[in-house]
């Protein structure tokens, strides 16, 4: 089931509940926000997360990520944050979320390999940085750690 509003925020209820993937048995229900300006990338990340038993919200801009977290209706366990977002880029968005007190695990995700930009992203408050393309092998250890810490 999916619902959306006029601001392009989409909530997708995972069809994988309650058990998720056989590769990963979560003790807790995890929620994730996927912030990426590419619809295809959001679909890929959401599909991976859903098949692993994680409920997902998605936004296409940094401003939408900030607004969604500011509303406070849901506390995300994980935020996958693209570097190159419109309105506010990934580092700006991450820095602002941290100033707002958001304590979700924020993982920078990008296909860019420029050291200075990656370091700026990390310095903004990332918990981790992963290179695209994401896959199950990259997500499973991350989700296990989040689940263990919850």
Q: What is the pLDDT of residues 9-66, one digit of tens each?
A: 555 544 444 445 456 788 999 999 999 999 999 999 999 999 999 999 999 999 999 9
Residue 6: what pLDDT?
42
Phi, psi of 33 (to 5 degrees): -115, 125
> Is pLDDT of 150 > 60?
yes
> Is pLDDT of 7 > 70?
no
Q: Residue with structure tokens 């979320």?
A: 97
The length of the chain, given as a count of residues: 150
Residue 2: what pLDDT?
44
Which is more confidently placed, 114 or 98? 98
In which element (H, E) is residue 149 found?
helix 136-149
Task: Answer for the pair 120, 95: CB distance below 8 angstroms, yes or no.
Answer: no
- The arithmetic mean of pLDDT across residues 123-136, rounded, is 93
For all residues of the chain together, what is the average pLDDT? 87
Residue 130: what pLDDT?
92
CATH number for the domain harbouring residue 8: 3.40.50.2300
Strands 55-59 and 10-12: antiparallel
CA–CA gap between residue 134 and residue 57 (Å, rounded) = 17
60 Cα distance to chain centroid: 11
Task: Print the domain residue range for 6.
Answer: 2-16+25-149
Which is more confidently placed, 24 or 131? 131
In the chain, the number of structural domains is 1
């Amino acid at each position: 089931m999916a619902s959306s509003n006029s601001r392009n925020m989409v909530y997708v209820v995972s069809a994988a509940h309650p058990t998720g993937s056989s590769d990963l048995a979560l003790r807790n229900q995890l929620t994730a926000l996927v912030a990426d300006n590419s619809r295809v990338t959001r679909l890929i990340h959401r599909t991976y997360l859903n098949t692993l038993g994680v409920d997902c919200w998605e936004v296409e801009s940094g401003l939408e990520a900030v607004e969604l977290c500011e509303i406070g209706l849901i506390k995300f366990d994980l935020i996958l944050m693209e570097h190159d977002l419109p309105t506010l880029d990934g580092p700006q968005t991450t820095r602002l979320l941290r100033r707002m007190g958001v304590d979700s695990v924020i993982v920078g995700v990008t296909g860019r390999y420029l050291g200075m930009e990656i370091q700026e992203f990390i310095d903004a408050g990332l918990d981790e940085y992963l290179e695209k393309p994401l896959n199950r092998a990259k997500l499973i250890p991350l989700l296990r750690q989040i689940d263990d810490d919850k």
